[in-house]
Amino acid sequence: MMIENTLTQADRNLLNEALDGFVPERVFDIHGHLHAAQFCAQDGLADHLKKNLNLSAYRRSLELLLPGRKLEGALLFPFPIRECDRGGLNAWMFSELTNQEAGSFEGLALASPGDNPETFEHGMREGTCLGLKPYHYYSGRADTMQATVEEFVPEWMWELCNRYEGILMIHLVREAGVSDPDNQEALIRLCTKYPGCKLILPHIARSFNFRTARGLKKLARLPNVYVDTSAITEAEGIRIALDLLGPERVLFGTDYPISHLRGHCATAGTTFHWFYGEEIENSQLTLVGIDSLLSLRQACEQAGIKGRDVERIFFGNAEELLLRKIPTIEAVSAQRSIDPVSLLHL
Ligand SMILES: [Zn+2]
């Protein structure tokens, strides 16, 4: 797969359809990856990950996706690779972030269950590392797609994020994702035990099959649960998240460099399927990031979400989250004009 640096006329038309009158002037990307190939085993590395993707490359790519908008900042973390020097990748990425000229570009550290928690403590205490990015690859299970939350996000990660009001970015696995009962039980228990930990479930809680997003209903009463829209190319899952969590807990994200691949992910039976431009003759697929913006727009329009609420999704929610404020369940329900008791009993 290739990272696109230019747009076709068809891409530009679709992008205008997504942006005009919808995407506000200020944008914060809550989910992007930087990448340095020298810290990764080269065997089986996808083409788009064979080179370095530094902060300048990221910023240039985002200008392509968001022309005329101001990228105020981003939450960035290394792209998870199975065989890599995580310490080297983290150190490289955080040094990239210290070289920034303008904006608020913050980072999460890639973390594995076997890592020493003290490795991350200093950065989190000082506020240079805003939290952790665990990944199922590091669960130690043979079939990591079946990993339970505890197998790749052990309790020390929750404890650390709770202590420093850090962000924990958990890409759920197992077929049913956020509808999986074991995933739900673990998230409810751990989010309740560690209320200072700010949990972001990327890709609408990995609802690449939009039907699994319905499982968010079980988590809606937890005030420290958020989702991002990154790499979601169907409106339905975003709509479900908007209905269940409200626009104040849905955040715009790109999943760069995935946003700049030509592709689409579709619900398929009980699972989902990724299509890529290079694999289909005359595919006419657009960039994942453009497809995702179109889906977000459609979901907001269908849910009647506009104005200030759209601004929250693109910027305001991230600003609040990074300022380390977690709204109380009462505040969340007041914003949505609903009874907090009903939210607690969803
Ligand atoms: Zn990602």
Distance 199 CA to ligand 1 centre (A): 15
Domains, the chain, ordered by start: 9-344 (3.20.20.140)
pTM for this predicted structure? 0.93
- The angle subtended at Cα 53 by Cα 63 and Cα 25, nearest 5°, is 20
235's CB contacts (< 8 A; 6+ apart) are: 295, 296, 298, 299, 302
Whether residue 13 is predicted with pLDDT greater than 80 in this model: the reply is yes
Whether residue 40 is predicted with pLDDT greater than 50 in this model: the reply is yes
Whether residue 339 is predicted with pLDDT greater than 80 in this model: the reply is no
Whether residue 176 is predicted with pLDDT greater than 70 in this model: the reply is yes
Distance 258 CA to ligand 1 centre (A): 8
Distance 148 CA to ligand 1 centre (A): 19
Chain mean pLDDT for the chain: 93
Distance 170 CA to ligand 1 centre (A): 10
Whether residue 18 is predicted with pLDDT greater than 70 in this model: the reply is yes
Q: What is the DSSP string of 278-320?
A: GGSTT----BHHHHHHHHHHHHHHHHT--THHHHIIIIIHHHH
Half-sphere exposure of 40 (CA within 13 A, CB side): 22
Q: Which of helix, strand or coil describes residue 140?
A: coil
Say what the pLDDT of residue 6 is.
96
Whether residue 101 is predicted with pLDDT greater than 80 in this model: the reply is no
CA-to-CA dists, residue 54 to 50, 93, 276, 294, angstroms: 13, 8, 24, 27
| Higher pLDDT pick, 270 / 103 | 270
Distance 172 CA to ligand 1 centre (A): 12
Q: Band of the pLDDT at 344, cuts 50, 70, 90? A: very low
Q: What's the one-letter identity of residue 42?
A: Q
Mean pLDDT on 265-281: 94
**Chain segment 184-201, per-residue pLDDT in tens:** 999 999 999 999 999 999
Distance 40 CA to ligand 1 centre (A): 17
Whether residue 210 is predicted with pLDDT greater than 60 in this model: the reply is yes
Mean pLDDT on 329-338: 54
Q: Which of helix, strand or coil describes residue 32?
A: strand
Peptide bond into 80 cis (omega under 30): no
Say what the pLDDT of residue 332 is.
55
What percent of the chain clears pLDDT 90, i.e. is strictly above it? 86
